[in-house]
Structure 1
Amino acid sequence: MKIEQRIGRIHRIGQTQDVFIFNFCLKDSIEEYILRILHDKINMFELVVGEIETILGNVDDEFDFSEVVMDIWLKHQSNDEINTAFEKLADDLLKAKDKYRETQELDEQIFGEDFEA
């Protein structure tokens, strides 16, 4: 959410120039894993502001992204274990994103393209 808010502050409606966002992180750090999931798996940076929260809500009613990430980081010892756990999380998020998109398409079919969720 912090990354999304940061981008929102920089890129406003009426922006006349391209905005480039760079997120630096330490190799094999928790930030690297998070950014890889958000960028590579669910293309967070292509989503409309607010969609990421809706997607995370589609994972599970009791899903807390930061708790899941910290749990993975603390429970796994090797890089292979961490990679496997983050890949599973990424797959779950991708499924949630697909579910969100299906719901969005259904809303548009039922209510028209001007429907705001």
Structure 2
Amino acid sequence: MDRPFDGTTIDGPREQEIKRGGIITLACRATISMTNNEKNRKSRNDGTPRTKRVIWSMNNAPMTMQIKRGGINVYTDWNFNEVVSNLTVTSVTESDQGVYKCSIDDIGSDEVFVYVVD
């Protein structure tokens, strides 16, 4: 199987402590290693790879399921060399403690555990 990405990682330690009321900020990166021919075949005109999605989840529930909570923002930047997706969760409470996972379609995933402390 052709895998144009070298790997998916979330920056920082595997376990992170965030103060109650604070902000969770996680950055997920995937490195792209494609030849020029692959770039031409697998990208749209704007340079972003086709058919790839970044999905953030917490405790195996997609973050989109928690939109009613508010204070959740995801910004993803695609280019030929790297994908960077930033997740921000504001006004952290105990219910925000858990396993945060970043998955990129057919590429891979990474996860970290976030502890909420006083």
TM-score grouping bracket, smaller chain normalisation = under 0.3
Which of the pair is proportionally richer in strand? Answer: 2
Structure having the larger proportion of residues in helix: 1
Higher relative contact order (CA 8 A, sep 6+): 2
